[in-house]
Amino acid sequence: MLKKTLAGIATGALLLGAAACGGGDDEGGGGSDGLVVGFAQVGAESAWRTANSDSVRDSADADDRIADLQFVDAQQQQEKQIEAIRNFITQKVDVIVLAPVVETGWTDVLTDAEQAGIPVILADRGIEEADEDLYVTRIGSDFVEEGRKAGTWTVEEFAENETTGILQLEGTVGSAPANDREAGFFEILDGEDFSYELVDSQSGDFTAEGGKAVMETFISTHGLEDIDLLYAHNDEMGLGAIQAIEEAGYEPGTDIQIIIVDGSKAGFQAGVDGKLNYIVECNPVFGDQLMDLVVQVADGADVEKFTPVVEDAFGVDEFEAELPNRQF
């Protein structure tokens, strides 16, 4: 089967022009060999991302309706994603799946995909509203809602404070989860009778190194005395910051309360160890749902513009019981 014969071919070789493998227009959505799908993934910046890539690859591999998934790791660079999409167009894949690293800058390449008659599905992150006609559907998280959950917990937890000092560790600048997690969080804080000061807000680019570096600089210039809460837009940045906090002689989870978003095993373990206080789940395991969407979209079926994945949030009393359930 085509899927098996292509499985071991490196991405680079595929990008150089395996034109023959694309189903193209003539095969439509579901030729006898199955669908060829191009997936431009963000990168490998976090445990969340690795779990998401595994989920998509495993689901494609197990699905007889999919002949081949051409996977490109764009190393968090939009140019590499644009290059990958252009190669998918040249190869006439049946469907393009894009997890856009940032929200803007997609108009030209997605217009090219549209003109080539190749439908685009967004997986995980979204793009700016002005371009929403250029993709068929998005599957992923409601990042604004994730931010609201973090905000709701904050308002309840610090209700008795005269004012609450907050430090925010943002994700990649211009990315949907960074923009939306911030928007949802402050929508709740600003909508309540709640006094806070955003003492600083810096990007750690969704990486542990980034989170640690921001925290080290912050502690060395300000100390932590006027900070009650660290709101980290993902686990890696939160865990990196925890390391910096401990190295500076403070107790994370006690001297400063910490919220993280994702909910990896490592994140929950830090919670069980008393080093953080609230976890907002972001669910990366949607490969099966994505494959169903790919087939529907290739067949020209009507699909919802947005398919949210199911997500929860967890407080300290739930960390221990939830840890064994974590999938990544």
Binding segment for ligand AHR (CB under 6 A), chosen from 43-51, 89-97, 151-159, 244-252, is 43-51
- Return the C-alpha torsion angle 186, 191, 195, 201, nearest 10: 10
How many CA atoms are closer than 13 Å to the CA of 286, on its beta-carbon side? 23
CB of 6 to ligand AHR, least distance (A): 28
Query: Which residue among 94, 124, 170, 228 contacts ligand AHR (CB under 6 A)?
Result: 124
The three state secondary structure string of 68-90 is: EEEEEECCCCHHHHHHHHHHHHH
**Rg, Å, the chain Cα set:** 21
Taking a C-beta distance cutoff of 8 angstroms, is the pair 163, 195 a contact? yes
Query: Which residue among 219, 242, 280, 282 contacts ligand AHR (CB under 6 A)?
Result: 282
Kind plus residue range of the DSSP H or E element containing 98: strand 95-98
Q: How many residues does the chain have?
A: 328
Query: Which residue among 45, 68, 170, 228 contacts ligand AHR (CB under 6 A)?
Result: 45
| Beta-carbon count within 10 A of 152 CB | 18
Query: Which residue among 261, 270, 294, 313 contacts ligand AHR (CB under 6 A)?
Result: 261
Site membership for ligand AHR, residue 68 (CB under 6 A): no
Site membership for ligand AHR, residue 262 (CB under 6 A): yes
Query: Which residue among 234, 257, 277, 283 contacts ligand AHR (CB under 6 A)?
Result: 234
Site membership for ligand AHR, residue 328 (CB under 6 A): no
CB of 160 to ligand AHR, least distance (A): 30
Query: Measured from the CB atom, is 36 or 169 closer to ligand AHR?
Result: 169
Phi, psi dihedrals of residue 276, rounded to the nearest 5°: -150, 170
Residues 146-185 vs ligand AHR: string with x where CB under 6 A? -------------------------------x--------
Q: Count residues contacting ligand AHR (CB under 6 A)?
A: 12
CB of 171 to ligand AHR, least distance (A): 6
List all residues 6 or more positions away from 260 whose beta carbon is below 8 Å from its beta carbon: 232, 234, 235, 237, 238, 239, 267, 270, 276, 278, 279, 280
**Residues engaged in binding ligand AHR (CB under 6 A):** 45-46, 48-49, 124-125, 177, 206, 234, 261-262, 282
